[in-house]
Structure 1
Amino acid sequence: MNNQLLIGVLVPFLGTAFGSAMVFFMKKELSEKLNHALEGFAAGVMVAASIWSLIIPAMEQSASMGKLSFIPAVAGFWIGILFLLCLDELIPHLHMNSDEPEGMKANFKKTTMMVLAVTLHNIPEGMAVGVVYAGWLTGTSGITAAGALALALGIAIQNFPEGAIISMPLRSKGESRTRAFISGVLSGLVEPIGTIITILLAGLIVPVLPYLLCFAAGAMMYVVVEELVPEMASGKHTNVSTVMFALGFTLMMTLDVALG
Structure 2
Amino acid sequence: MEEFGVLALPFLGTSLGAAMVFCLREKMNFRLEKFLLGFASGVMIAASVWSLLIPALEMAEEQGGNAWFPAAAGFLLGVGFLLLLDMVVPHLDRENARPEGMKTGFQKTTMLMLAVTLHNLPEGMAVGVTLAGAMLENTGMTMTGALALALGIAIQNFPEGAIISMPLRSTGVSRIKAFWYGVLSGAVEPVGALVTLLLAEQVVRILPGLLAFAAGAMIYVVVDELIPEAQAGDHTNIGTIGAAVGFVLMMVLDVAT
Tell me if both proteins adopt one fold, taking TM over 0.5 as the criterion. Answer: yes
Structure 1 alignment gaps of length 5 or more: none
**Does 2:179 match 1:181?**
yes
Counterpart AA for 2:238 = V
Query: Is the 8 Å Cα contact of residues 123 and 153 (structure 2) preserved in structure 1?
Result: yes
Q: Contact 2:45–2:222 at 8 Å: present in 1 too?
A: yes
Contact 2:200 2:210 (8 Å CA) reproduced = no
Residue matched to 2:142: 144
**TM-score normalised to the size of structure 2?**
0.97
Which structure 2 residues correspond to residues 1-260 of structure 1 after superposition, within 5 A? 2=1, 4-64=2-62, 68-259=66-257
CA distance in 1, matches of 2:8, 2:26: 29
Q: Distance in 2 between matches of 1:229 and 1:96?
A: 13
1:3-62 per-position Cα deviation (integer Å, ceiling 9, x unaligned) = x20211111100000000000001231122111111000000000000000000000011
Query: What is the root-mean-square deviation in Å for CA atoms of aligned residues?
Result: 1.2
| TM-superposition CA deviations, 1:119-141 (whole Å, max 9, x none) | 00111100000000011111221
Q: Which amino acid aligns with 1:217?
A: A
Q: Quote the Cα distance in structure 1 between the aligned partners of 2:64 and 2:132.
A: 25
Tell me by how many angstroms 1:195 deviates: 1.1
Q: How many percent of aligned residue pairs carry the same amino acid? A: 58
Query: SS where residue 256 of structure 2 aligns?
Result: helix
Structure 2 distance, partners of 1:134, 1:94, is: 33
The whole-number CA distance in structure 1 between the counterparts of 2:73 and 2:199 is 20
In the aligned structure 2, how far is the partner of 1:67 from the partner of 1:5?
31
Question: 1:52, 1:233 → 2: CA distance?
Answer: 25
Deviation at 1:64, TM superposition (A): 3.8
Report if aligned partners of 2:53, 2:71 keep a CA contact under 8 Å in 1. yes
Partner Cα distance (2:71, 2:181) in 1 = 35
Q: Extract unaligned runs of 5+ from structure 2.
A: none
Which whole-Å CA distance do the structure 2 matches of 1:105 and 1:170 have between them? 21
**Number of aligned residue pairs:** 257
CA distance in 2, matches of 1:119, 1:146: 27
After superposition, the C-alpha distances for 1:198-232 in whole angstroms (9 at most, x for unaligned) are 22234212110000000000000000000011111
User: What is the rounded CA distance, in whole Å, between the counterparts of 1:151 and 1:139 in structure 2?
Assistant: 19
Q: TM-score under structure 1 normalisation?
A: 0.96
CA-to-aligned-CA distance 1:80-133 (integer Å, 9 cap, x gap): 000000000000111111101111111111111111100001111000000000
Task: Determine the C-alpha separation between the residues in 2 that align with 1:205 and 1:175.
Answer: 44
